[in-house]
Structure 1
Amino acid sequence: MAKMQFQRDQVLEQSANLFWRVGYNATSMQQVFKHTGLKPGSVYLAFGNKEALFKESLSHYAEVSKAGITKSLDAAESVELGICEILDGMVSQSAASDYCSCFLVKSQLELSDEPNLQSFVSEQLQQIEQLYAGYLQAKYGEQDAKAKACCIMLHIFGIRVYSYHQGSELAMRQALRTGLAWLPWHGLSH
């Protein structure tokens, strides 16, 4: 049996980047081989098929995202201020010239006609929502924390889909302050 001779996380990141930029449906396995530098046998042996590679790449992306959220919220002065900083950072990201939305959000929108894959994407997004709810629960209780986490996710979708249009960065920040008025926006420099 052939031995895998590559860094799995690196291949997952490369594959995620490809699926993210091109989309699941438009990505061919030939593109995967070229983008990762792996031979077909290595990819199929390690991941099985395109769908399995996509799922593992998306899951890897979600795990990195959750780790980043956790790190930000743990380092923040308060959970609420940490959420403000995360959302403000997303608005700033949307202004970058190479901005490409969010892999999870783009996949959720693209895969509406593929229930199995869309369900998998939804599970990843629900885990992120549950992460926010878990942090908020200590202060707000379970039900209110869940509602607030859902509201945060709605705003994240809005930022990621609306993205940056000339002059909209300030408008997006103002909309966040209006839509999430319970957060301490006064603690940010913007």
Structure 2
Amino acid sequence: MARTREFDIDQAVDRAMDLFWRRGYAETSLQDLLKELSIGSGSFYAAFGSKEQLYIRSLERYASLQGGDLEKILEEETEIRTAVRKVVSILVEADLTDPTRGCLVVNAATQCADQPAAADRVSTAIRQVESLLAGALERAQARGELSPGKDPRELARFLTTFIQGIRVAGRARMGREFMEDALSAALRALD
């Protein structure tokens, strides 16, 4: 008779995500994961398959949470500039509070580019941000907030790249003034 799983998979993924986020993929050993999740290796392999597969699930969880937060802000705010400013300001504050943590997607892009599954998950997460921004920009254009000559998809790609760059600048501890100046310049692209 098979044993019943004695731990919550979603909680385990969240805890693993936090560990990968704090330490990085390469610096997180299987032993670190077993200790963090309080499970044995047999349970680990049965539930997750491998460290890499758990890392991918952690990236998916992170992207889902971040995407949900982004979508909520973009839908709640009635003005696109206010929405973009709010999104970036939240990220800047997070980076100023804890610059060593950064963004798990950016961390994965820089630390795991040689791992096809991780690189694929990073691309998917970035495309998700682009898609959410493009939708918000299209709605803003329909409301008359963006000139008809602006291309919402092009602007979404620029803002997506800007957001990833601002996360890197946060890890580099560029400081509030640098970040706010960069944000002001990025918002001018919407004029």
Question: Which residue is 1:175 aligned to?
Answer: 182
Amino acid at match of 1:161: V
Instruction: Tell whether the 8 Å contact from 1:108 to 1:121 is kept in structure 2 after alignment.
Output: yes
Distance of 1:164 and 1:27 partners within structure 2: 19
Answering whether residue 55 of structure 2 is matched by residue 54 of structure 1, we say yes
Further displaced range: 92-101 or 32-41: 92-101
- TM-score if structure 2 supplies the norm length? 0.86
1:106-151 CA-to-partner distances (Å, cap 9, x unmatched) read 101111222332122211221121111122223348x811111111
Task: Give ranges in structure 1 of 5+ residues lacking alignment.
Answer: 185-190
Amino acid at match of 1:68: D
1:29-86 CA-to-partner distances (Å, cap 9, x unmatched) read 1110111112222221111111111111110111011111112122213233111101
Instruction: Tell whether the 8 Å contact from 1:129 to 1:150 is kept in structure 2 after alignment.
Output: yes
Residue 157 of structure 1 deviates from its aligned partner by 1.5
Instruction: Tell whether the 8 Å contact from 2:75 to 2:136 is kept in structure 1 after alignment.
Output: no
Amino acid at match of 1:93: A
1:141-168 CA-to-partner distances (Å, cap 9, x unmatched) read 8x81111111111111121111166772
Percent identical: 29
- TM-score if structure 1 supplies the norm length? 0.86
Answering whether residue 152 of structure 2 is matched by residue 145 of structure 1, we say yes
What number of residue pairs does the alignment pair up?
183
Distance 1:89 1:99, change over 3 A: farther
2:188 is paired with a residue of what secondary structure?
coil
Question: Which residue is 2:120 aligned to?
Answer: 119
